[in-house]
Structure 1
Amino acid sequence: MPKSIHSTQPPLKFIPERYNPLVLQLFSWVLPFILRVRTRPWLPAGIVRIEAKNAEILAKLYQEFQAGKIRFLLAFRHPEVEDPLSMLYLLSRIVPQVARQQGIKLQYPVHSHFMYERGMTLWAGNWLGWLFSRAGGVPVRRGRRADRQAIQRARELFLNGKMPIAVAPEGGTNGHSGIVSPLEPGVAQLGFWCVEDVQKANREETVLIVPIGIKYSYINPPWTKIDWLLTKLERDSGLPGAEISQGGKKEDILYQRLLRLAEHLITEMEEFYRRFYHRDLPEITTDNDTEKNEILIAKLHRLMDTALQIAEEYFHVQAQGNFIDRCRRLEEAGWNYIYREDIEDIGSLSPLKRGLADWIAEEADLRMQHMRIAESFVAVTANYIQEKPKAERFAETALLMFDMLSRIKDSTLPGRPRLGWKQATITIGEPISVSERWENCQGNRQALRTGVSDLTRDLFVAIEELIKD
């Protein structure tokens, strides 16, 4: 995560895709090591095992793709930042191995182009843009109504690329292996565009979208580490010592601590917004234990709405759509204030204009922090832990709280604690034929809009099925 911004910045330029098979090969060689030590080389944490279900589906699809019979897009779940690494492992190791076992002949390397969020290079560094471009990546600005360069390049690669293309239709991580965020319609739209482009080129390939589910679990449930993390969060938030009975099941005790911590954080943030931003946030209380969860989530959503309103008022952005939509638009509005495309040469500005530009950039960065806090909790529900009180769900929820406190305490996120060794389970679903759906949509704009909506809905259902236990 970048440090707080105190000065105006040059525009975020488009990073051209420059696929280099040698760079990809070198990266693939060191991939198992990177998965283990991505952020904390000295800790026993990281991804040590990746398994795939139905990998033979992908092996056969790659064979047909290389034979010129189909074009396809990999639509993968995006719960964590490690997902691109897991996908690379799937394509570079598991799929070739399954192909050899089943006698399926493939041309190597087995890889895909992919779209990545342009902002990743801001918190990771420019080296990531260099690596992603040479691994076949196309950067996209999520909040832009139409990122024409990114869309055009993705469309070209979908039609003519020597490899398929991969996209995360959720548009960003939500920190929950068991919850799929609403999908953005861009993947479905790309599919219909590809069918149209194939027909215009007088070609006959069938266009497919392949849903892929990704889930993470701990090799050994890290209950001790979760207890340690909750203790740290309680201390950092100024929460007094717990008065929770220690005689029950550990899951029940941890759940009560999580609820208590969540209630404390929400209460503190509500008071912050009441006092310093003059917001009317009436108290909501109940003595009914059954209703406490619903009220807590209602208060959380009200708090998220308040945080987003404050940023929207500053940037003069209308509140439209769900929380994710609002976060995307605010991110783009903030970047427009910081990464100034209207300034040709920052160095040529007069001291007055430079000072004003820096002022605006710094204030925009601070206003975006309200959005970042809301962004952390877009997938939180009232019964996520109660449905399945597993270590993974406790850890995910506690880590989201860690993110929130880190953003408030420090301008630079220190990196999430690694709670233990993890494994990834990747499940490949049955391909969805976009070509078949095109027959009912062509030549009619309304029918096409309906087709995009229906395909997005069906893709959501397919991905949701793939991550069920």
Structure 2
Amino acid sequence: MPQIIKAQPPLPFIPPKLNLVVLRLVTWVLPYWLKHKLHIVDIDVTDIDRLVEVYKQSQMGRLRMVMAFRHPSTDDSFCLGYLLTSILPAAARRHRIALTSPVFAHFVYDRGIPRWAGKIVGWLYPRLGGIPIHRGKADRLGMMTARDLLVNSQMPLAIAPEGGTNGHSELVSPLEPGAAQIGFWALEDLVAAGREEDVLVVPIGIQYYYLNEPWEKLEETIHQLERECGLTVSRHDTIVAIRQSDGRPLRKLLYDRFYRLSQHLLYQMENFYAQFYQYEIPERPPLEQAISRTEISQRLQNLLDFALQVSESYFNLEPQGTKIDRCRRIEQAGWDWIYREELNIPNTLSPVSRKLADRIATESDLRMWHMRIVENFIAVTGSYVKDRPTIDRFAEITLLLWNLVAQIKGEQPRNRPVIGDRRVQITICNPIPLSDYWDRYKSGRRQAKQATTDLTQEIQTSMEGTVDRG
């Protein structure tokens, strides 16, 4: 029986209210959390001096800073927090630069995060200066709050232009224009106020690496998924190769098992949508016969497109834009049917009407399930692991499959298995002055849109330049 979702009043805006005691507590807890909860044992920062200089200039009132960071994982916010609260102040002290406390940043977060992450996160994020944004609509209040803080706060603004995690350290998703747009709005306000500060966007790359190549734990995770999916596979040759540290044969054996698992899951999901949602399965060979990487990638994209259509048809939405755009619109439509305007005033619905509203809320949540599956696999290609079969890429795709299986079983994807200890590489890119784009931006609506697009592309190029693909 599905969990009953109660219809509720619209989600209120949660204003940021930075609490220095809470920030100090988080600063104290972060190293322990990173090491023992996230198994991140080392964070190395390239070109930290760039951030020290820009942060100093920002505190001196000479510029405003947008920190545009990569977002491959839900762990990114913890790494960025440690960068700001520990690594940055230490680097400043080495250069005999005194930064004014607090050394931190306001940050934009998805308003839906407290819904799945729990009440503690909903309490904590505002007290760390977080600004909630509804991703699927023009959130005027959230955007205006971010704009005001960027102009007037003593702290910079951090935002992830990818919009959501993609699970790939070595693949940057297409960026959304929010970081560029907020930067231009802030520059507009500064010019209108007669202030001389420029606005700088500082792209920040984040990449994860596993230490000591934990192939054994990876094999155990793949085997767990095989059992969950009803696959019977001999593990003997793989385990022997792991024990003998036999690199190339090991990768070949694991890739074959991983590929079989992926194909099996794809066939299962195709059968599911064909049986219950009238999906027309393209002609395909028997499951025992492997299909090419190109075909499995194309079949996956076709299936993801149909899964979105299942949600869109329920919410009466036309499929418009990229898959990411469609996910955002579906999410917002679902929220509109769960968080109802008419419930702003208590006791306006009769008991029967209330139960009907709960029914619609429950069905909306169920229909959004299809969209959640697509979110996990938007960035997946058929060649990511094959092209470079490292432990890092193997683990990333395996954990995405784990998320899928967990969602099917109704479990929390955040309770994922730990593959091994990791290190993080953070790269501070050259700052991008928005004044370089200002003349074009202020020339008219069309030019402003093009300037925003061009700036977003420059941020994208900078982020892609931080990716180490060996």
TM-score of the aligned structures, taking structure 1 as reference length? 0.94
CA contact (8 A) 1:191 1:434 kept: yes
Tell me the residue number matched to 1:211.
Answer: 203
Counterpart residue number, 1:282: 282
Q: Return the offset for 1:281.
A: 2.0
1:105, distance to aligned residue in structure 2 (A): 2.5
1:5, distance to aligned residue in structure 2 (A): 4.2
Rounded Cα–Cα distance in structure 1 between residues aligned with 2:161 and 2:285:
38
Instruction: Please report how far the alpha carbon of residue 244 of structure 1 lies from its aligned counterpart in structure 2 after TM superposition.
Output: 10
Q: Does 1:113 align with 2:113?
A: no
Query: How far is the alpha carbon of 1:130 from its aligned partner?
Result: 1.6
Partner of residue 466, structure 1: 466
Contact kept, 8 Å, 2:10 with 2:344, in 1: the verdict is: no
Q: Aligned to 2:192, which of 195, 200, 209?
A: 200
Contact 2:327 2:375 in 1 (8 A): yes
Paired AA for residue 391 in structure 1? I
2:4 and 2:359 in contact (8 A); partners too: no
* 2:180 is aligned with 1:188: yes
Residue 448, structure 1, aligned to residue 448, structure 2 = yes
| Letter matched to residue 305 of structure 2 | D
Q: What amino acid maps onto 1:81 in structure 2? A: T
Distance in 1 between the 2:3 and 2:378 partners? Answer: 23
Partner of 1:124: 117
Partner SS for 1:213: strand
Q: Quick one: which of 97, 107, 115 aligns to 1:104?
A: 97
Secondary structure of 1:80's partner?
coil
The 1:321–1:103 alpha-carbon spacing in structure 2 relative to 1, beyond 3 Å, is: same
| Aligned counterpart for 1:82 among listed residues 64, 67, 75 | 75
Pair 1:27-2:20 in alignment: no
Deviation at 1:412, TM superposition (A): 3.9
Q: Which amino acid in 2 is paired with 1:333?
A: A
- Report the CA distance between 1:325 and its aligned residue: 1.1
Q: Alpha-carbon deviations, 1:76-96, whole Å to 9, x = none?
A: 001111111101111111111
Which residue type is aligned with residue 417 of structure 2? P
Contact 2:9 2:342 in 1 (8 A): no
1:140 and 2:129 are equivalent in the alignment: no
Cα offset, 1:468, TM superposition: 2.5
Alignment of 1:25-424 (within 5 A): 25-38=24-37, 46-144=39-137, 146-241=138-233, 249-285=249-285, 292-345=292-345, 347-413=347-413, 415-424=415-424
Shift of 1:279: 1.7
Equivalent residue letter for 2:224? K
The answer to whether the 8 A contact 1:114-1:138 is kept is yes
Q: Distance in 2 between matches of 1:189 and 1:80?
A: 24
Tell me which amino acid in the other structure corresponds to 2:25.
Answer: L
CA distance in 2, matches of 1:83, 1:11: 29
For 1:14, the equivalent position in structure 2 comes to: 13
Instruction: Give the letter for the 1:110 counterpart.
Output: V
How far apart, in 1, do the equivalents of 2:262 and 2:343 lie?
Answer: 43
CA change 1:286–1:468 in 2 (3 A) is farther
Q: Are the equivalent residues in 2 in contact too, given 1:115–1:154 (CA < 8 A)?
A: yes
Q: 1:131 to 1:148 in 2, by over 3 A?
A: same
Identity %: 44
Contact 2:297–2:382 at 8 Å: present in 1 too? Answer: yes
- Tell me the distance in 2 between the aligned counterparts of 1:276 and 1:109: 55
Structure 2 unaligned regions, length at least 5: 242-247
Shift of 1:245: 6.7
Query: Which amino acid is 1:27 matched to?
Result: V
Shift of 1:324: 1.1
- Structure 1 residue 4: deviation in Å? 3.9
Query: Over residues 133-161 of structure 1, what are the superposed CA-to-partner deviations in whole Å (9 max), with x where a residue is unaligned?
Result: 111110111111x1011001000011111
**RMSD between aligned residues:** 1.9
Task: Provide the secondary structure at the position in 2 that maps to 1:214.
Answer: strand
Q: Which runs of 5+ in 1 are unaligned?
A: 39-44
CA distance in 2, matches of 1:253, 1:88: 39
Instruction: Give the distance between the partners of 2:233 and 2:219, measured in 1 at CA.
Output: 14
| CA displacement, residues 192-215 of structure 1 (integer Å, 9 cap, x when unaligned) | 111111100100001110000001
Alpha-carbon deviation of 1:286? 10
1:64 counterpart letter in structure 2: Q
- Following superposition, the deviation at residue 37 of structure 1 comes to 3.3
- Cα separation, 2, equivalents of 1:97 and 1:436: 32
How far apart, in 2, do the equivalents of 1:82 and 1:238 lie? 31
Between 156-165 and 340-349, report the one with greater CA deviation: 340-349
| Structure 1 pair 245–453 and aligned structure 2 pair: CA distance change class (3 A) | same
> Match of 2:244?
none
In structure 2, what is the Cα distance between the partners aligned to 1:330 and 1:37?
A: 36
Task: Find the residue that maps to 1:342 and give its secondary structure.
Answer: helix
Question: Could you list the per-position Cα deviations for residues 296-318 of structure 1 after superposition, in whole angstroms to 9, with x for gaps in the alignment?
Answer: 01011011001000000000112
1:57–1:428 CA contact under 8 A, matched in 2: yes
Amino acid at match of 1:111: F
Offset at 1:285?
4.4
Measure, in 2, the Cα distance between the counterparts of 1:188 and 1:433.
11
Which letter maps to 1:149?
L
Alpha carbons 2:17, 2:129 under 8 Å: kept: yes
The 3-state SS of whatever aligns with 2:341 is: coil
* Partner Cα separation in structure 2 for residue 72 and residue 6 of structure 1: 41
Indicate the SS of the match to 1:37. Answer: helix
Contact 1:51 1:425 in 2 (8 A): yes
Paired residue for 1:41?
Answer: none
CA change 1:435–1:291 in 2 (3 A) is farther
